[in-house]
Amino acid sequence: MKVSPKRTSRSGDKTRDVVVCVFSREYGKPRPAVVVQSDLFNDTHPSLTLCPVTGTLRAAPLFRLNVTPSSHNGLKKRSQIAVDKLATVKVERIQKVIGRLTDDEIRSVDQALKLWLGIAG
């Protein structure tokens, strides 16, 4: 997997990517996040929808998904994908891609998003 130190093009942002970005206001520090927006729109839309990744662990397994750090996902410590903090940011706020989720992890994210958004069927 190629990891670029600086964001140079939008074509590198894909669903499953773990990126570093700056969320606005209360989430203003650079932090990891998972791209959850469909790849159909990533090259043409001025923003990306993400789930932040946090090192503050909570007992909320339906919408805070545990992720173990690995060379594949680029995370440095045990974290959780915060499905309950879904956010859309301008692509300029994406700093770099640091890794990718596994197929099992993205399936868990998909299920949690469906439940959180009320579209589980």
Residue 42 lies in a domain: yes
Residue with tokens 């650079």: 30
Q: How many residues does the chain have?
A: 121
Residue 3 lies in a domain: no
What would the pLDDT profile of 25-56 be if each residue is shown by its tens digit? 655 689 999 999 988 887 788 999 999 999 99
Quick one: pLDDT at residue 34?
97
Quick one: pLDDT at residue 39?
85
What would the pLDDT profile of 59-71 be if each residue is shown by its tens digit? 999 999 999 999 9
Alpha carbons 57 and 82: distance in angstroms, whole number: 10
Q: What is the DSSP secondary-structure string of 50-70?
A: EEEEESS--S-TTTEEEE---
Provide the domain limits for residue 14: 10-117
Residue 106 lies in a domain: yes
Quick one: pLDDT at residue 12?
55
Look up the CATH number of the domain holding residue 44.
2.30.30.110
DSSP helix/strand/coil, 113: helix
What would the pLDDT profile of 71-85 be if each residue is shown by its tens digit? 999 999 999 999 999
Overall number of domains in the chain: 1
Residue 21 lies in a domain: yes
Alpha carbons 85 and 63: distance in angstroms, whole number: 9
At residue 15 the predicted structure's pLDDT band, cuts being 50, 70 and 90, is confident
Quick one: pLDDT at residue 116?
93
Residue 58 lies in a domain: yes
At residue 13 the predicted structure's pLDDT band, cuts being 50, 70 and 90, is low
Average pLDDT over residues 74-101: 94
Alpha carbons 71 and 78: distance in angstroms, whole number: 13
Residue 84 lies in a domain: yes
